[in-house]
Structure 1
Amino acid sequence: MPPRLPLALTLAVLFPGLLAAAPARGEEAVSPFAPVHEQMLVGLDDFTFDSDWFPMDAPLQLRLIAHGGNSVQIDMPGAGRYDWDNESIDFVGDPDAGRLGLDIGLTLDAKIRFDVLGLQWESDILGPYDYAVIAEDGFTPYLLPGNPERPVNIDDETDPVTFVSVPVTPDIIVAAGNLDIDAYVIVAATLVGDAIEAATTAPMAQLATIVAEGESVSLLAGQGPLPDPLEVDGTLVCGLTTDITIVLKPTLVMEILGQKFEIADIEIPIDLPPFADAIRFAPITMSFPRPPPPPPDPTTGDGDSHGNSSSDSDTSGEPPTTGEVNDTEPDGATTNISDSAPGEAGGADESAGCECAATNEQRSPPLLALLLIGLATRRSRARRDPPR
């Protein structure tokens, strides 16, 4: 039987493109992009409200002194995506994971005085008393144009709560009473996303701005191999407006010299300074690993893709004679010197011929490989049928 070639080698010879690896496709790299912003919009030390004495010219009067403030927290979780095929970037927010929260606080001091039948008394400051409420709403980031949840609006009025309830006990036994103060908050706030800025420093400084939800913009990374990974600084820009009012409802009831006095059914609005401005979130660095390059295609290349020099290839179209020399005997029989036994003349040539054949099987083009298969078949038949 003719000697069998390895299956992989046979397939490579007969169908040189069959075992070639398919070129690798570009990949989409993903990196977290979750901007968070916390800011004190109005500090408690920055805003003071003084009601002065009320009701005017009444025998029993109340005075409230308040310090109000508010802060905002915005969470925008999601991810940046880089398309290595198109060298572009886009951003996708996590569904229903965004948060807009307003923390509203108040510290309150109170003073009381009365002048009844010539009996006068004024209290020291009572308090401070603390009041706080949080108004919040959820959404899907990044609230750019095209997001159906844009803008996010908080338009709310909280229920009244009693945060002060204190007995009033002057140092005179002819007067006593109680002070209660309720409070509620009216909140109006609006949040929109304006843009996401994506900036690189290598291989060249670039700035791409995304101004619509789901938009993909070009951001070149170059052919590589560097930078790897590609680092992009993302900065979210939003617009925020707030309008907050804290409403106080005090109730003061006292009995003085046997007479009952009351301050009630009065609402005192305290308007915190409004806020309307753009907010630039702190930049977040995203890292996008470069995909590996595709392996070289063995069926392409200049000249001999296997690295053979032109001197190694026979371009005459004649079969190679290396490793097999025919000698004609006087009686006309032909002797194949390559079939000599080891140690005889030609034994070294056969060894060299085998080595050459093995090398050609690995390095020669498919045509030469087919010729070698035919030569191997002739040698096998020569061994079975000795010269007569």
Structure 2
Amino acid sequence: MKHLAFPLALGAALFASPAWADDAGAPGPALDPGDVLAIYCDDVELSCTNAPLFFSKTVELPIAFDWDTNWIPSGSPLQVRFFVRVPAMTQVDLAGILQTDWPPALRHLTPGVRNGGYLMFDYGLEVGAQARVDTKVLGISIKWTGDIPFFPQIDFHLKREKTFNSWAFDGSPPASAFTDKFRLFSVNLLGLAGIPSQISKGGVALDVYGELSAVYTTHRIRVEPAVRDITDKGDSTTSEFAGGAYAKFDVWPEGSVSYTGAIHLVPTFFIEVLGFDFDIPFIDYPIDFPLGAQEFVFDPVRVHVPLPDIPTPSSLEVDFGEVVVGDRSAGEVSLDNIGEAKARVIGFLGPGHAEHFTLLTTSSLIDPDQSSAVNLRFNPKAAGSFNGELTLVTNDPDNRFIKFTLKGTGVGQERPNYPDGSGGSSGNPWNPGGSASGATETDSGCACGVVGGQQRGAGSFGFLSVAGLGLGVGLVLARRRRTL
């Protein structure tokens, strides 16, 4: 079960990521039985999801056989057991990730993981017979279990397991198993030379042992629906997305295990002296022969990918109306997220009269089934009609850009009216470009408004000057009279 440790750790790590933790308090998407939930790759970009994948398949050949009488007769102090086993099976496990990102559309990658592959095979022949004694003799308990003498005990077994990095598009490292070495024949050269075998033996022998090697290779990874298969490390594919709160994909690898057998011939020098044996092999000569390949088509894993879904508002215009120059008016754009994943919105003002508009909400995160407002302000710097453009960039795969038209009119402030020459009031608002009548004159650097062809205030100034002069003359004459 060691090979299961990594996929379990992978799933735990993904669901402990910050992107998952942020939504831990919110109700998750409704999953069908067997679905694997994808989560955001991180909590910043929110345009990529990861889903853990795990596949396991065991192929057993028709020759596989397992017969065991178990201990019979039951309850007897003397029991026997006969068994014949012909193991013939291969198991392959694969762990990886389905990564889905956007834009454009939905792109799928299947990064493999270190030690995410597992290959095990078990082939051979086991024949055995055992006896068991469990009784008492003269009050003494006697228990014994062992092989039945003179019955052939055969244990020709080839079993091996190997871990590798998924997905092994170029083939996994071979998993090789070996039989026990046995001596096919020997020639006592010392005996041929006349040395009694009781004293010493020595000569040449031929030892033989078998080998079985297996290699797993992934030929393709299927993602349905998608435009094509993934056939190499780092490869990707895309799928069309019609919109909605989520997307579902069936993912499965297709590969094969190729087997190669070998008979190893090992010529050996041997010598026996006074009961001590010495073997000196001088070459290992393998004879390889292919044993064919077994296809491995894994059962699909369905991945549920939650996605943000932001509908385009019915109105794409924000009209601030008339605003006095120097004042400001607030407005907003409301967005709904009807998807299953958190939405991200980033806004910016486009070309035009951007200096008259202010974007107060530059970015926003919207939880599933929630709404959020993008706040704006119109603060005209001058009188006139102004248009602007607000662009919202979302992480909705099929609604990336939403553009709004901004409109507003700046109006001038009213100035107190000046009396005209007849004692009336002009009654016209202030115009920064001239007088109430639209005319302006400039005298010695002074621009003074003209009403009825005369300067405003000139008659009043002359009257005060004459009155002051007359008062001064009167005071002087009065002093002279008192002195006289």
TM range (shorter): 0.3 to 0.5
What TM-score does the superposition give when structure 2 sets the normalisation length? 0.37
- TM-score w.r.t. the length of structure 1 is 0.45
Q: Which has the higher contact order (CA 8 A, sep 6+)?
A: 1
